[in-house]
Amino acid sequence: MRLLRTAATLTLFLAASTVAAQNGSDHLHVAVRRVHISAGFSGEEVFIYGRVPAGTERVVSVISSPTTATVRLMEKGRVGPFWLGVHQYAVHRVPRLYLVSLSCPQGNVLYPCPESDALAAVNPALARIGEIVGLRELEERAEVDVLRGKAGRQEVLRLLRGFWKLQASRGLYAVNTNRIRLNDDSMYYYQAVLPAEAPEGRYEISAFFLAGDGVIGTASTELFVGRSGMVAWLSRLAERRALLYGLITIGIALAAGWLAGTVFRKRTNH
Amino acid sequence: MAGPATRRLSGTVLAAVLLAASGLAAAEGPRLAAGHAGTPCVACHPPGQPGGRPTRCSGDGCHADVTRTYLSSDHDRRHLKASQLACTACHGAHPVLSGRAALTLACENRVDRVCSGCHEAERYAVGAPAPSRKSIPARGGGVHTSARERRGCEAVAISCFTCHGSHTILAPGNRESPVSRQRIAVTCGHCHPEELERYRASSHAAGVAASDGVSPTCVSCHGAHAIAPATGMRTPTGAEEVVFTCAECHEDPDVLRTSGLPLAVIDSYESSVHGIAYAHGIHDVATCVSCHGAHLVLAASDPRSKVNPDNIRTTCAACHSSVSAGMLAAVRHPGGRPGVRGVLARLKLYFPVAGTSVNPLLVSGMGGVVGILSGIFGVGGGFLMTPLLILIGIPAAVAAATDAAQITAGASSGAISHARLGNVDFRMGLAMVAGSWPGGFVGVQVVHTLRTMGNFDFFLKLLYVLLLGFTGITMFVEGVRTLRGRSPGSEPGPGRLSRLFDRLPIQVSFPKSGLRTSVFVPITAGFVVGILAAFLGVGGGFILMPVMIYMIGIPTRVAVGTGLFQIVLTCAYVTLQQSVTNHTVDVLLAVALFAGSTIGAQLGVMASRRLKGEQIRVLLAVIVLGVMLVLLYQLMATPEHLIQFATSGGGH
């Protein structure tokens, strides 16, 4: 299965290299246009590839769900023997999914570029075109309201670091420093891992091509992540016909209880 | 067709030829004399033998024992019977070489050549042709051949004979053959005793001894004829290829099915940090043999295994100066469970409202356990189920809401059975619901308002701990006292509060409970439970239970049945409210839970019939206290993430 998938990906990649060689603007491709969340979905690997502009030294790619949400967070602290929330915040404009992948020219698989070094190597160049990646992007973009407790800049930064960690533990936020591979300086490719908790929506995928201290090219495309089949039907029903959905749920619950009761009564009587 | 005259003539001619030959042989002297010095030609070539063909070497008392042995070997039995005189095939005719001389011949590689004369060219005259894999590989390359060349003939004289034997040669499939699966290790062990000792203790050897037909022997990894040096990179046991050698069996579906080995160990190795490096051509990383050993390969559960949890740190320390738990986790690759159990373990279902995928059987199993408790004690089980669902990755809001639907199913199953047993006081139950519905509604609103103030969950949990601790200890003490035989089977009876209840207006009789009390008693109890249920995100059964038994004075069994009845109605209401206002009820998750909980509830009801009231109370007290301790621990233990979502936690 794994072999089959790899073979299929490779074929696709080779085919794409041919196409890319003919078409000068093919800097970013996604192997699938749409990721289906169906009953068997438990995360998905998405193959992303493209041609790099001549002279590219590093490639950075970002996948983010542009649906920004407001999340309410609290910071726990120790009070006496107990842990309780000492600060409460509302954080606006944070992506639900944010995956940064980088190429790692100096590192190898055993010694990948450390995350901080890799980001420090690309962020100055990206900043010139008004972009930034990693936790710093969150720090720049997110708007934080302190709802309870007193909090300064340091506390807010600590909050965002903690939030990143929380999201990373669910696979929703990540910086992969050694993910993108460059092939003969003409193509790049990588596998992006969408977790099982990946939200629905239109994801934006962007690629930045860096040489020296500057960005020599950018590309962006979209990926649709949507529910399909039974999963789609049920979630729409739950959203749009909530009363019906609730009644159905109760109906099933009572029927299940009654069924078990009846079956067991018959068995006990025998 | 040759007549007797012709035969006689040919015999005469042959005699003449032989005489001439013996003359020639005499001229060659030492060559012919090698084994048969002084043996007349006619001893092997008696006159009158057609074609000058010699008889068996056993004639006239010569080589009788050896011949007998030879006749039982596969060379004679299967291939060369009656058609050739096989002795000369190996020993030669003129000269005939003795055993020691044959060793010398081996040393000169002539034996290899003699055997390969048949085996490589597959020149088996009679019987089944030798399969091609039996053909002897070209000289050179094999570690045995090169050792022989390097160290000289006398030191290591390894030839076909060394492993296959000489006269008793048997096919490898024959158990008696020294190269059979059963005996090859011992054969190799003549020269490699240390390896034999380690291999004998391994699970591979145990499999061979048990004739499992799949466990590897020496030749499975090292090859049979062109045995490559173990230290070479590009050899089956060398760093560059050993993973693929192990994969030949450990990725073979037939082998995995027969042996019950874990699935996809190679696959999971390849995605470990070592495996990724290996796949990128870095060969000084740990491979299979680095951790599992080469000859003494044992299951990880074996205490002698190098990868047993007790020994793993020592094993890693061979390369790493310090070993952290994270490092161990990064390289651990237990593989999947084989067979049906494995398929079930790998099952995943995407729950649409929860927005994540979980094994539905795990969910059903949890439902079953909670259902049993529900049936025995008349509790909804929400106090257990919600934390369990959060633990397996269901968002807290969905866990709490779906739990209400689950409790409806589990409790209705229990309630129906209890109703049949006559344990439900419907009048009392409905009166409670009249209180619990508004209570639940008020509770939900209050929770929403209080949430914004922060730390609400903390104080609720604390309240919960106090409440559970108090009721748990009271029930436990009381139950144990009754169990000790003060008055077995007695019910606690109406509490002191009942005198107060007697003075309240609208006195109603509850014949099932054997009580006459004010209708406001159950309504108030229901209201309080409704609020608490909404606060705590549970059905409220096990708060209601002590209230009914100790404060109102309802007999335990009737309290259990009535409690369940009340819970069904309360939770159905909460489910609907959650569906409409928060969209947090996951119907698939609920169905997976029902599948277990409804059956569990029935088993619980059966069990409850075998238990005395006070036993039920003590058991419930133990569970209540257990949950209290878990909650207390959660409040005091350092959380994994100091930053958390503020909206998570129980409550409707």
Domain ranges of chain A: 2-227, 231-269
**Number of inter-chain CB pairs under 8 A, A vs B:** 204
pLDDT of residue A266: 58
- CA B367, CA A31: separation in Å to the nearest integer? 40
Which residues in chain B are contacts of A37 at CB distance < 8 A?
A: 350
Would you give the DSSP letter of residue B336? B
Tokens (6 digits) for B570: 């309360």
Nearest to A250 by CA among B569, B438, B342, B118: B569
Give the amino acid at B625.
Answer: L
Ordered mean pLDDT values, 10 residues apiece, chain B (652 residues): 46 46 42 62 70 59 75 65 57 66 51 58 32 39 61 53 77 83 89 90 89 87 76 77 87 80 81 80 84 88 88 87 77 70 79 88 89 74 76 80 82 80 81 84 73 67 80 81 62 56 70 72 81 66 73 78 83 83 86 86 81 78 84 82 66 36
Q: What's the whole-model pTM score?
A: 0.62
Which chain B residues have a beta carbon less than 8 Å from that of A197? 355-356
The 10s digit of each residue's pLDDT in A220-267 is: 998 999 888 888 888 888 888 889 999 999 999 889 888 877 777 655
- Cβ-nearest to B572 among A76, A199, A250: A250
Residue A63 has pLDDT above 90, yes or no: yes
Residues of B in contact with A163 (CB under 8 A): 643
At CA B432, angle to CA B429 and CA B438, rounded to 5? 140
Provide the strand spans (E) within chain A: 29-30, 34-37, 44-51, 58-64, 68-79, 82-95, 98-103, 143-148, 173-183, 187-194, 201-211, 214-227
What residue type is B619 in one-letter code? Answer: L
In order of B79, B170, B478, the CA distances from B123 in angstroms are 10, 17, 92
Which CATH number is associated with domain A2-227? 2.60.40.2550
**Contact B398/A at CB under 8 A:** no
Question: Are B371 and B381 a contacting pair, CB within 8 Å?
Answer: yes
- pLDDT, tens only, B107-155: 444 455 556 666 654 332 222 333 333 344 433 446 676 665 555 444 4
Q: Give the pLDDT confidence score for residue A60 in this predicted structure.
A: 93
B353 CB neighbours in chain A (<8 A) are 234-235, 238
Q: Is A210 on the interface with B (CB under 8 A)?
A: no
pLDDT surpassing 70 at residue A24: no
Q: Determine whether the interchain pair A265/B420 forms a contact, defined as Cβ–Cβ distance below 8 Å.
A: yes
A108, A159, A260: residue with CB nearest B413: A260
Residue B254 Cα to chain centre, angstroms: 16
d(CA B424, CA B40): 113
- For chain A, give the mean pLDDT: 81
Q: How far is B548 from B525, CA to CA, in rounded Å? A: 8
**Which of chain B's residues have a Cβ under 8 Å away from the Cβ of A260?**
413, 598-599, 601-602
CA–CA gap between residue B649 and residue B635 (Å, rounded):
12
Angle between helix B426-451 and B556-581 (nearest 10): 40
Question: Which residues in chain A have their CB less than 8 angstroms from residue B458's CB?
Answer: 82, 84-85
Dist. CA B252–CA B260, nearest whole Å: 12
Q: Do B277 and A43 touch (CB under 8 A)?
A: no
- Smallest Cα–Cα separation from B565: which of B437, B428, B443? B428
The half-sphere exposure of A265 on its side-chain side, counting CA atoms within 13 A, is: 15
Distance from CA of B246 to the nearest CA of A (A): 18
Question: In Å, how far are B269, B309, B345 from B333, measured between CA atoms?
Answer: 6, 13, 16
- Does the beta carbon of A265 lie under 8 angstroms from any beta carbon of chain B? yes
Q: Is the pLDDT assigned to residue A208 strictly greater than 90?
A: yes
Given an 8 Å threshold on Cβ–Cβ distance, is B353 in contact with A43? no
> What pLDDT score does A206 carry?
92
Q: Which amino acid is at B230?
A: A
Q: Which of B263, B413, B575 to mutate to test the interface with A (most CBs of A within 10 A)?
A: B413
Cβ of residue B329 closer than 8 Å to a chain A Cβ: no
Compute the distance between CA of residue B128 and CA of residue B122 in angstroms, rounded to an integer: 10
How many angstroms separate the CA of residue B635 from the nearest CA in chain A?
A: 5
Residues of A in contact with B352 (CB under 8 A): 227, 230-232, 234-235, 238
Interchain pair A242, B641: CB under 8 A: no
Terminal alpha carbon distance of chain A: 49
Mutate to test the interface with A, among B280, B450, B643, B647 (most CBs of A within 10 A): B643
